[in-house]
Amino acid sequence: MLPRAVKPVARHGTAVVCAALIGAMALGSCFAASERPLKIVALGDSLTAGYGLPAEAAFPVKLERALTAKKFAVEIANAGVSGDTASDGLARLDWSVPEGTDAVILELGGNDALRGIDPELTHAALETILRRLQQRRIAVLLVGMRAPRNMGANYVRAFDAIFPDLAAACGPVFYPFFLDGIATDPALNQPDGLHPTAAGVDAIVARLLPKAEELIARARKERAF
């Protein structure tokens, strides 16, 4: 009679062991997924590309370095193209932001203002970018720009309103002005007065870092789903 009593116990023990192994493997997979570096694309113009600077001094590189120093596992791709308008960024959105991207830093619009492009066109292009990224469940940090003050009060008013309006309508993480604290400071800008020096990029990264951390938190939340 003893073997008959032992066999079902053995089968039960095997089942428990198998279940434990399967659970451990599943848990390990979850951990592996959570530990994969977040893939972030910085989609922008010359301010993102690092115009006039060595590659290692560009904004995406320095931001990745700053986040890594704070123990965030991230990889930031530089998708900045000098001279791009918001419409140019929209035209290349699909190949600039490939599948597997977790988050985007959207920095476009400065060239629109410099060229006097109708703010309604800029607004429409940026809104389309935001909506398409939302459809792909990609978290976005929208970086605002401001029109040059010599463009006239009406233009300045219409252009400057683009970014807070989009932030309210689309709900991205929002940083109002990419060049905050940098613009017009000769010590932090190249001779053209438009593009930051390496020290200027450092100042931008330091100011924007809390919003980048907020972007990471949002991207992680999206990944969990």
Q: Which residues are catalytic?
A: 46, 192, 195
Measured CA to CA, the distance from residue 38 to residue 31 in angstroms comes to 14
Alpha carbon distance 145, 159 (integer Å): 9
Q: What is the distance in angstroms between the CA of the first residue and the CA of the last residue of the chain?
A: 52
38-44 vs 103-107, strand pairing mode? parallel
The closest alpha carbon to 65, from 55, 50, 49, 76, belongs to: 76
Token pair 């918001």 in the structure block, residue: 86
